[in-house]
Chains A and B, each alone.
Chain A
Amino acid sequence: MRFGIVVNEGPYTHQASDSAYQFAKAALARGHEIFRVFFYHDGVNNGTRFTVPPQDDRNLQRLWSELAEAHKLDLVVCIAAAQRRGVLDANEAKRQGKDGDNIAPGFRISGLGQLIEAGIQSDRLVVFGD
């Protein structure tokens, strides 16, 4: 089956990102396809490489980046939500006149149309959040 995944909450405050990660990992292990993972609302905060969680805890950003690398996952951060919350790639940083970017490896910034497209193209769209 082809899944789309939506993550609506930030890391650590909420379990949504953990659950989505475990779901994606399990689905891939069973041979399913992940069309896209879309990060919205505070979920965009999963896509900053500047998080430094304690070493004895999981590093969610790194887990997502590694999963994306291993399975060629499409991790998309919503641009409008990301701009509100300070998640930028190099292009956006330049465009907005900011002095740096923080997007994590394997993530890309794009529009809400990518969320709708995931709903259209996937057999099931699974939403993680409150």
Chain B
Amino acid sequence: MSQATSKKKFLYINRRAPYGTIYALESLEVILIGAAFEQDVSAAFLDDGVFQLMNGQDTSGVGMKNFSKTYRALGDYEVRKLYVERESLAERGLTLEDLMPITYEDEDEDYAEKPSIRLVDRSEMVRIISEQDVILSF
């Protein structure tokens, strides 16, 4: 394992739809707090977790807090790698166009806006997961 003084690779795996349970919201809270620790952070969205990134979320009918805008702020917290599993999207009849346009500013390229969402297929997701030091699954 890496030294305590060096950066660790943290992956937050999100597997559930945003409002049926509290896992998505409390996962987001961990990601935001964790950003202060300057680790190598990425998040993965698979299974029903891809619904967390849906564009145009409206919770007014269910009386719950709509926290979807927070995902769009992740770039400001240096969380720039959001891996979305291609098969999970397809199995739910979704495409990249159904998701929020989430971007970050790349300071190495004159603060150009770049997409944070990276579509990866299932085998690639397996490789990403296997490379991590710390995995928190929600």
Contacts and interface: CB of A to CB of B under 8 A. Distances in A.
Contacts, number: 51
Interface residues of A, number: 21
Interface stretch (B25-33, B79-87, B112-120): B25-33
Interface stretch (B34-42, B69-77, B98-106): B34-42
Nearest to A114: B33
A41 B1 contact: no
B26 A116 contact: no
Nearest to B30: A112
A105 interface: no
Contacts of A125: 134-136
Interface residues of B, number: 20
Nearest to A80: B29
Contacts of A112: 29-30, 33-34
Interface in B1-35: 1, 4, 8, 10, 22-23, 26, 29-30, 33-34
B59 interface: no
B1 A123 contact: yes
A121 B4 contact: yes
B134 A113 contact: no
Contacts of A8: 138
Interface of B: 1, 4, 8, 10, 22-23, 26, 29-30, 33-34, 36-37, 39, 133-138
